[in-house]
Amino acid sequence: MSHEAMMSVSSLNSKIKSLLELTFASVLVEGEVSSVTYHSSGHLYFTIKDSESAIKCVSFRSSVAKVKFRLEVGQKIIVGGSISVYTPRGEYQFYATSIEPYGEGGAALAFEQLKEKLSQKGYFDTSTKKQIPKIIKKLAIVTAKDSAALHDMLKICEKRWRMVDIIIVDTLVQGDNAPLQIAKAVKYADTLGCDVIVTGRGGGSSDDLWAFNTEIVADAIFACITPIVSAVGHEIDIMISDFVADLRAPTPSAAIEMILPDFKDILFMLDEQREQYNRIISHKIAFANEKIKQLKTNIEHASPLKKVKQMEQQYIQAKEDLFRLINYRLEIFSQSLERYNTDLKRQINFGISQKEAYLKEFQDRYILSNPKNRCLDGMARVWVKGKPASLNTLSKGSRFMIEDSTATLMVECLEITKLM
């Protein structure tokens, strides 16, 4: 064996690397993803295979950023890039600069992947949607400050409702840096105390509108406390931001027309309400006048002066009735007094007569009881039950008392002889 043909391992790997890079500088490979690893550095490591073999692939961070969808095991993809050798280990691998899903666009796949992910997180639930206020005093518009879409929105604001205060939050709306800027602009607008936020842009290609299909923008919209409207592109353009926002408008101009009232409609409504209020007020005034009339009549009936007059009349009538009653009673009393006077005189005379008879009897008894006035000799008095009596009043068997000036006898009548 000749030693002149001998080379080192490194030299061999380097020659193989040069040969592979020169031969396979730009190739497209179709295969199924069998493994995938998203590294913290931003690089992507994966393997694709067919029914008979497999090849390891790597995509560096700058290339990964251009891939709109996320690789998953089992996906069939088309990878574009070159073949090279990692000389420290002598391993060859495919360096991918582009990755597309087989049979469909990467953007469409990325859209569906993100839509499914956000749906699972509840970003599209109607229960989380906030109501757009009917009256908007302060409006934030998140878009490019020099865009035609902003010009159209401001023009419609001026035409429909001039009383709204507008704050323009400038941001990129397309390009690689647009998603982060839009997310920051939405978060800032949410701190301004506005009634509504409108974010969006005018029409363009799918790539131009793609910033509103990113997860970072969806997160910012979902976290927004202020009600937010998504107004991106034309009516046929459906964005992830449309699903997450509280209201989706087909165009930026339509967004303003949807949330701001037309002052002409307001004036017309005010005219109608004024007429309605005039009718209501006229009816209430008429009703109030009738009520006042009724109250006036009631007051007149219940007037204190009228009541005083009524009470005065009642007093005069009562006074007259009292005087008549007093006179009648006095007349009756006078008649009764005369009768009472006659009865009293009669009773007095009867009493005097009784007293005189009692006094006479008492005098007689006193005289009879006085020893000095005793019966004369040979004379006696008859007493029955303590009273003087005549003999002709006695009956046979009567017991009575005989008294003279010397003695008192209790006797019983044995026989009576009438002298006459």
Same structural domain, 165 and 199: yes
Q: Where in the sequence is the domain holding 48, given as residue range(s)?
A: 7-103
Confidence at residue 376, expressed as pLDDT on a 0 to 100 scale: 56
391 versus 140: the higher-pLDDT residue is 140
pTM value is 0.52
Domain boundary among 54, 69, 103: 103
Residue 109 in domain = no
Residue 278 in domain = no
CA atoms within 13 A on the CB side of 133: 12
Confidence at residue 253, expressed as pLDDT on a 0 to 100 scale: 94
Confidence at residue 241, expressed as pLDDT on a 0 to 100 scale: 95
Query: How many other C-beta atoms can be found within 10 angstroms of the C-beta atom of residue 47?
Result: 18
In which band, very low, low, confident or very high, does the pLDDT at 122 lie, cut at 50, 70 and 90?
very high
Radius of gyration for the chain, computed over Cα atoms and rounded to the nearest angstrom: 69
Question: What is the rounded CA–CA span in Å between residue 335 and residue 332?
Answer: 5
Q: What is the total count of domains within the chain?
A: 3
Mean pLDDT of the chain, nearest integer = 86
Residue 364 in domain = no
For 213-227, how does the pLDDT look when each residue is reduced to its tens digit (9 = 90+)? 999 999 999 999 999
18 versus 287: the higher-pLDDT residue is 287
Same structural domain, 79 and 138: no
Same structural domain, 234 and 140: yes
Residue 41 in domain = yes
Question: What is the rounded CA–CA span in Å between residue 132 and residue 246?
Answer: 8
What average pLDDT does range 387-407 have in this prediction? 82
Same structural domain, 130 and 250: yes
What average pLDDT does range 122-146 have in this prediction? 93
Same structural domain, 92 and 134: no
Confidence at residue 267, expressed as pLDDT on a 0 to 100 scale: 82
Residue 165 in domain = yes
Same structural domain, 154 and 94: no
Residue 360 in domain = no
261 versus 196: the higher-pLDDT residue is 196
The CATH number of the domain where 38 resides is what?
2.40.50.140
Query: How many other C-beta atoms can be found within 10 angstroms of the C-beta atom of residue 227?
Result: 20
Same structural domain, 14 and 90: yes
In which band, very low, low, confident or very high, does the pLDDT at 5 lie, cut at 50, 70 and 90?
low
Domain boundary among 41, 69, 103: 103
Domain boundary among 243, 261, 279: 261
In which band, very low, low, confident or very high, does the pLDDT at 378 lie, cut at 50, 70 and 90?
low
In which band, very low, low, confident or very high, does the pLDDT at 311 lie, cut at 50, 70 and 90?
confident
The CATH number of the domain where 206 resides is what?
3.40.50.2300
Question: What is the rounded CA–CA span in Å between residue 76 and residue 49?
Answer: 9
Same structural domain, 129 and 257: yes
Residue 195: closest CA among 156, 162, 229: 229
Report the percent of the chain where pLDDT is more than 70.
95
Same structural domain, 252 and 137: yes
Same structural domain, 85 and 130: no
For 32-73, how does the pLDDT look when each residue is reduced to its tens digit (9 = 90+)? 889 999 998 889 999 998 888 989 999 998 888 888 888 888
Same structural domain, 250 and 153: yes
In which band, very low, low, confident or very high, does the pLDDT at 306 lie, cut at 50, 70 and 90?
confident
Confidence at residue 105, expressed as pLDDT on a 0 to 100 scale: 64
